[in-house]
Amino acid sequence: MIVYFVGDTTNDVRLAAQAQDSTATLLTQQNYNNVLPGTYYISLGDFDNLQSFVDALNQASTLIYVPPQKWSDTKKDFSYMQHWTEFYLGFFKDKKSVQMHNINKSITTVVGNWLALADTRQSQSPQLWIVGCSTTHGDGVTQEQRYGQLIADQLAMPASFLTQPGSSISWAADQIIRSDLRAGDTVIWGITQVCRFTYCHNDAIKHVTYQAYQKDPGFDKIVALDQLSNKNVYYQGVTAIHRVVNFCKKLNVKLYLGGILVDPPFLPYLDGLPNYTQLFGHVAGDHHHEFFDIGSDGEHPGPLTHRYYAKTLLDKITHE
């Protein structure tokens, strides 16, 4: 029997192999051909190329994965060795004995958080889904004062709030599409700045805005600030909105879009969408003058502005 302990170039994998078999030896690019029965430890980092590493793995009858706490080649939260080691361990799993108890341990512990929905369905009858960023979430006002709740109260319908401060258009679209929407429901989506994106950093979801770079200047070394202003974020925003438009149409769900924080270059596109209502756009510089009042946090719109948002959207909904 040929047993491989597979991991990083650090001592973790050697210690694990020699704890089971004191005679375990290292396999590298130089000595992996035609191995004899026994116990070995192996790392992609000791091979000149990926194909040789895969050929070496293919010789083993048993593969035992021993991942380190942090891979030695990790850069910007990505390890080339980890990625390809785990990929090929998964590939060989159906062909030989592969012990992968710890594979992607960090991912399995956080994937639930990644897939978490901000809210769940509130009724078996038709209901509202209120979607958006901090303004729609209600930062600066009480939950009863936010425009989505005012609309729900006026229509006497239950509402679920798919909202998070700082969230992007793509995040909101994903929340809508993965939620339990049903025919007859109504979605009210407060469209935010297109110059935002959602990013996973240190296993946590981070909503990236210009303010995120002000609060954490070092983040520019992880994701360059100019990512917020290139055409890719516009592409992501446009396709995300169209996925939701198509999704709601297929489900017979009514969709209303309200421009909460709209980048001026994005406005002509939004104006062409059905059931779009421009509320107050976010233009360059101080945008407080665009609110009737300021919320308790000194940053977001206050109760008067939320009442304006609710009335404007209700007019659209009830006079459709």
Domain-embedded: residue 111:
no
CA angle in degrees (0–180, nearest 5) for 128-280-192 = 60
Q: What is the CA radius of gyration of the chain?
A: 26
Are residues 90 and 195 both part of a single domain? no
Residue 123 lies in a domain: yes
Nearest alpha-carbon partner for 21 in 8, 35, 37, 10: 37
- One domain, residues 242 and 188: yes
Of the candidates 282, 258, 298, 244, the residue with the CA atom closest to the CA atom of residue 147 = 258
The reply to whether 77 and 153 lie within a common domain is no
The model's pLDDT over 28-78, given as tens digits with 9 standing for 90+, comes to 999 999 899 999 999 999 999 999 999 999 999 999 999 998 899 998 778
303 and 235 fall within a common domain: yes
Distance (Å) of CA 191 to CA 142, 156, 266: 20, 24, 11
Do residues 186 and 133 both lie within one domain?
yes
Give the contacts of 206 (CB within 8 A, at least 6 positions apart).
Answer: 198, 199, 200, 212
In a domain, 9, yes or no: yes
| 142 and 278 assigned to the same domain | yes
| Residue at 108 is within a domain | no
* pTM, full prediction: 0.70
Task: Tell me the residue range of the domain where 215 lies.
Answer: 119-318
Compute the distance between CA of residue 162 and CA of residue 176 in angstroms, rounded to an integer: 7
Is the same domain home to 131 and 271? yes
* Residue 33 shares a structural domain with residue 177: no
Last residue of a domain, one of 73, 103, 133: 103
CA distance 27 to 33: 9
The answer to whether residues 157 and 81 belong to one domain is no
- The 3-state secondary structure of 33-80, one letter per residue: CCCCCEEEEEEHHHCCCHHHHHHHHHHCCEEEEECCCCCCCCECCECH
Same domain? 62 vs 172:
no
User: At 241, which CATH number?
Assistant: 3.40.50.1110
Mean of all residue pLDDT scores within the chain: 89
Of 56, 73, 103, the residue at which a domain comes to its end is: 103
What are the tens digits of pLDDT across the range 171-211? Answer: 999 999 999 999 999 999 999 999 999 988 777 788 999 88
Give residue 315's pLDDT band: very low, low, confident or very high (50, 70, 90): very high
300 and 166 together in one domain: yes
- Same domain (yes/no): 43, 141: no
Is residue 110 in a domain?
no
Domain count for the chain, please give it. Answer: 2
